[in-house]
């Protein structure tokens, strides 16, 4: 074990000793190195964050004010990128698609995860580990692989789903080339990927509820459904808000699915941009058209949306805390 930690005392340098100052609580003298050490431990993160996180974020705001061509010229144009953006039907189309995909993925995912967590939260459930593990399989499958498989399953001519539809007497449906169909296709992939993970988060929360609460409810004759409505859902409220926020921020980032559904060399996700998301639009402008300034303007708008979501989240959670 690690119990015999008694390294020889490092003889401290008298110069260093002068700077030592006693800690009230512990009564140990710390050398200069010891007092600086914590900064060293957190330094790697902050160094990387400054270079690859904060600086690019701030610089996005700068680039957005320019007509910025990576191999050509950079001209300061003020807010022109934004006025152009808000007049651009492609931007509003991408925003609408992102919202629609978010709605039809988040809501079903929530209900499925709630139901499954409630079902898994049973003291006497058999094969509990099998159920939990299988629900994490989609999470370890890459979005790229997921898209390839689901695009095949939903394919108009050769897809399994359309074959089933035909067997049931329905018409074949071209998911990829319809607006709603392509949104449903992408939302299905998002739900498939995340519902198990969300279920596990809810389950962890549920297991923190003492058993006697359910026991008392059962003794009082509350049915499974009543227990679900009156015990399960209220105690999950904070974690539900948390998952809604993360799924919203995640929803703004949907990129790989619509990219892999786009025809080769295009970033439009179909002929009428029926499933182009905001992040894919950013990529198309930045790296397809090399309009770094215009693409960065999309990034700034995305940032604004995230700030609004974070504020709503903050207000909601303080209100809930206040109510309790």
Residues in region 231-270 near other proteins by CB under 8 A: 235-239, 242, 249, 252-253, 255-256, 259-260, 264
68 phi, psi to nearest 5 deg: -115, 110
Which window, 14-22, 50-58, 74-82, 168-176, contacts other proteins (CB under 8 A)?
50-58
Does residue 204 touch other proteins according to CB under 8 A? yes
Site string for other proteins, 157-186 (x = CB under 8 A): xx-x--x-----------------------
Does residue 132 touch other proteins according to CB under 8 A? yes
The CB-of-132 to other proteins minimum distance in angstroms stands at 5
Does residue 296 touch other proteins according to CB under 8 A? yes
Q: How far apart, in whole angstroms, are the C-alpha atoms of residue 258 and residue 279? A: 10
Q: Binder to other proteins among 86, 92, 215, 289 (CB under 8 A)?
A: 215
Q: Binder to other proteins among 19, 75, 96, 145 (CB under 8 A)?
A: 145
Which window, 87-95, 101-109, 175-183, 205-213, contacts other proteins (CB under 8 A)?
205-213
Give the three-class secondary structure for 76.
strand
Instruction: Specify the long-range contacts of residues 300-303, CB closer than 8 Å, at least 24 apart.
Output: 300/60, 300/61, 300/64, 300/82, 301/82, 301/85, 302/252, 302/278, 303/57, 303/60
Q: Which of residues 65-124 bind other proteins (CB under 8 A)?
A: 70, 112, 115-116, 119-124
Which window, 20-28, 89-97, 99-107, 175-183, contacts other proteins (CB under 8 A)?
20-28
Does residue 1 touch other proteins according to CB under 8 A? yes
Output 129 or 271, the one with its CB closest to other proteins.
129
H, E, C per residue of 123-176: CCCCCHHHHHHHHHHHHHCCHHHHHHHHHHHCCCCCCHHHHHHHHCCCCCCCCC
Q: How far apart, in whole angstroms, are the C-alpha atoms of residue 3 and residue 190? A: 48
Output 178 or 317, the one with its CB closest to other proteins.
317
Residues 266, 239: contact at Cβ < 8 Å?
Answer: no
Q: Binder to other proteins among 99, 179, 306, 312 (CB under 8 A)?
A: 306
Smallest CA-to-CA distance from 117 within 102, 104, 132, 107 is with: 132
Q: How many residues does the chain have?
A: 324
Residues 243, 317: contact at Cβ < 8 Å?
Answer: no
Which window, 94-102, 125-133, 170-178, 179-187, contacts other proteins (CB under 8 A)?
125-133
Give the three-class secondary structure for 46.
helix
Q: How far apart, in whole angstroms, are the C-alpha atoms of residue 324 and residue 318? A: 10
Does residue 156 touch other proteins according to CB under 8 A? no
CA of residue 15 relative to chain centroid, distance: 51
The CB-of-237 to other proteins minimum distance in angstroms stands at 8
The CB-of-280 to other proteins minimum distance in angstroms stands at 10
Output 15 or 140, the one with its CB closest to other proteins.
140
């Amino acid at each position: 074990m690690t119990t015999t930690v008694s390294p020889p005392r490092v003889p401290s340098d008298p110069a260093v000793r002068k700077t030592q100052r006693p800690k009230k609580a512990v009564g140990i003298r710390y050398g200069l190195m010891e007092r600086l050490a914590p900064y060293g431990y957190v330094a790697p993160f902050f160094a990387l964050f400054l270079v690859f996180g904060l600086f690019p974020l701030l610089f996005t705001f700068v680039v957005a004010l320019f007509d910025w061509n990576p191999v050509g010229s950079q001209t300061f144009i003020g807010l022109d990128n934004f006025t152009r953006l808000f007049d651009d039907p492609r931007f509003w189309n991408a925003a609408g698609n992102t919202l629609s995909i978010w709605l039809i993925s988040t809501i079903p995912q929530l209900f499925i995860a709630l139901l499954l967590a409630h079902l898994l939260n049973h003291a006497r459930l058999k094969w509990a580990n099998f159920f939990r593990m299988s629900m994490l399989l989609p999470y370890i499958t890459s979005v790229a692989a997921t898209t390839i498989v689901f695009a095949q399953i939903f394919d108009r001519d050769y897809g399994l789903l359309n074959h089933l539809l035909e067997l049931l007497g329905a018409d074949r449906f071209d998911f990829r080339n319809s607006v709603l169909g392509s949104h449903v296709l992408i939302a299905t992939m998002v739900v498939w990927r995340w519902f198990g993970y969300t279920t596990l988060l809810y389950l962890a929360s549920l297991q923190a509820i003492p058993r006697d609460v359910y026991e008392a409810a059962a003794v009082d004759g509350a049915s499974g459904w009543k227990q679900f409505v009156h015990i399960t859902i209220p105690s999950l409220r904070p974690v539900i808000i948390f998952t809604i926020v993360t799924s919203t921020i995640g929803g703004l980032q949907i990129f790989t699915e619509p990219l892999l559904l786009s025809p080769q060399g295009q970033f439009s996700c179909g002929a009428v941009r029926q499933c182009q998301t905001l992040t894919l639009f950013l990529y198309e402008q930045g790296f397809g058209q090399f309009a770094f300034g215009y693409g960065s303007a999309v990034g700034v708008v995305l940032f604004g949306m995230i700030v609004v979501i974070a504020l709503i989240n903050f207000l909601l959670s303080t209100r809930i805390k206040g109510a309790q």
